[in-house]
Amino acid sequence: MAKLLVVEDDSNLADSVVDMLKSENHMVEFTPNGMDAANLLAVSAYDLIVLDLGLPDKDGIEVLKEYRGRGGRGKVLILTGRGKIEEKEQGLDLGADDYLTKPFHVKELAARVRALLRRPEGVVAEVLRTATFELNAKTFTFTKGGVEVPLTKREFTLLEFLMRHPNQVFSSEAIIARVWQSDSEASADTVKVYINRLRNKLGDNLDAEIKTVYGVGYKLEVAADQ
């Protein structure tokens, strides 16, 4: 599951884009507004942003420029009006990864999003493994030693995030930015609760374990020889 932001002021188009991306099992947030988009991008971490360039309050180009300027690394798919070739070129120069010219079919957009998320530095494999764990992001199943362990959606998303970044330490804030919705009231305590639930469900393992790094955060420690 990827975390996506859709920025589009045409409400009909936005609805169909959001519905399509949700149907592909992504966590999708939406705003019709460039200022809101800039604020969300400053506090939350997205794998991919669908960004309309023609926005009434703050231009999409400005939003993109600021985002890349701050080191934002999510994939950006820009949406441009027909005939706005300079705008498209400017967007690509500023670090957009792909573009679609309106009008387009939402299936085309879904295909572009899938392609962008598959690129090596994006969200990669759908099946993540350690010696005993197997997490299938497509079917939402998780098994330990071949036995399915039921996880809630949030537990699953958290574990998927940790399994995608083995042996990397993340602060509670970084985990919230990636795993929770921007408007949630999740705190460091919330993260702790979920980490503990996951630990209970994962049980004892020799090859992979969620470790607390005191004063810093959490990591999924995975044994090297696999």
Give the pairing type, strands 133-136 and 127-129: antiparallel
Q: Which CB sits closer to Ca ion, 54 or 122?
A: 54
Counting beta carbons within 10 angstroms of the beta carbon of residue 177, is it exposed (0 to 12), middle (13 to 18) or buried (19 or more)? middle
Q: Which CB sits closer to Ca ion, 56 or 71?
A: 56
Binding site for Ca ion (CB under 5 A): 9, 52, 54
Least distance between Ca ion and beta carbon 110 (Å): 20
- Amino acid at site 86: E
Give the pairing type, strands 217-222 and 98-101: unpaired
Least distance between Ca ion and beta carbon 43 (Å): 24
Report which residue's Cβ sits closest to Ca ion: 54
Q: Which CB sits closer to Ca ion, 62 or 221?
A: 62
Least distance between Ca ion and beta carbon 80 (Å): 9
Cβ(53)–Cβ(59) below 8 Å = yes
Q: Which CB sits closer to Ca ion, 9 or 66?
A: 9
User: How many residues belong to the chain?
Assistant: 226
Q: Which CB sits closer to Ca ion, 1 or 94?
A: 94
* Residue 176 main-chain phi, psi, to 5 deg: -60, -45
Least distance between Ca ion and beta carbon 218 (Å): 40
Q: What angle do CA 145, 194, 41 make, to 5 degrees?
A: 115
Least distance between Ca ion and beta carbon 101 (Å): 13
Cβ(114)–Cβ(23) below 8 Å = no
